[in-house]
Amino acid sequence: MRYLKDIVQYRHFWVHLALSGLRARFRRSYLGIFWVALQPLILTLIISTVLNFVFHMTFVEYSIYIFSGLIAWDFLKGCVDFGAASFLTAEGYIRQVRLPMAIYPLKAVLYCLIVFGMAFGGFALYTLLLDPGCFSWHWLYVFPFLVTLVVFGAPLAVISAIVNIKFRDFEQFIGLVLQIVWYISPVFLPREVFDKPLLRDWTAVNPVAALMDLFRQPMLHGITPDRESYGLVFLWALGLWALAVAMLARNERKIIFYY
């Protein structure tokens, strides 16, 4: 409890770090923060143009589907990537003052959450222009979805940060793993592809597929997210948090020696 209180006590510091990272990313950029929505939008248009004929989906339907998957995936990938780098980029702070180490990967999660919020604004505008019929009160489910994203993404950031500070090859290796997960999860490929016999068992335990369902069911189809998807994500999150807390407890005082 004392550790959690310290994290809350220094909230202004790690919020400042997240906002500072956001400002640094777009410094001297003409479009600035608009790139957060433009990047997934441009990738959406490219993928939709190439693949909508393959999967026999209309451009409007498929592009909205892909856009939703990309912004949710970018949050998860960001938690791993920025989480992995969080201790390395905070070396100056860690050497000078003793703070709860968890605030650095949590800063990465907050950064990704802000980026997701801005990208979601672009997604909402894109959907409004192409298919306003998608909008309904079910879009309010985005708020429990955000909570679910953070609960699932935060331990990923903590685990990535600890492993990467100890083994510097992790950042390169995890990039390959994420690329594999990207292709075997319904990020841009149609959801029905993953219900086929060859992938059905994997899909049933894939937390990324469950997260995509929790996001798309209310946004694209106007239906209430199913409890099974929530249960699967929180079961994974429970296991990830147990691992993250154990690793943090074991390595908290040792991290300074890995620089």
One digit per residue, pLDDT tens: the chain, 259 residues? 787 787 777 778 777 777 777 777 666 766 666 667 777 778 887 877 777 777 677 777 888 898 899 999 999 999 999 989 888 888 888 888 788 888 889 988 988 898 898 889 888 988 888 888 888 888 899 999 999 999 999 999 999 999 999 888 888 889 889 999 998 899 988 888 888 888 888 889 999 999 999 999 999 888 999 999 999 999 999 999 999 999 998 988 888 888 7
Asked if 118 and 37 touch (Cβ cutoff 8 Å), the reply is: yes
Whole-model pTM above 0.85? yes
Q: In sequence order, what DSSP letters do the residues of 124-174 get, joined into one string?
A: HHHHHHH-GGG-SGGGGGHHHHHHHHHHHHHHHHHHHHHHHHH-TTHHHHH
Asked if 119 and 74 touch (Cβ cutoff 8 Å), the reply is: yes
How far from 79 is each of 92, 116, 149, 179, CA to CA, in Å? 21, 11, 10, 15
pLDDT, position 72: 94
For residue 90, give both structure tokens.
């905070």
pLDDT, position 29: 65
Rounded CA gap, 135 and 127, in Å?
A: 8
Backbone angles phi, psi at 237, to 5 degrees: -60, -40
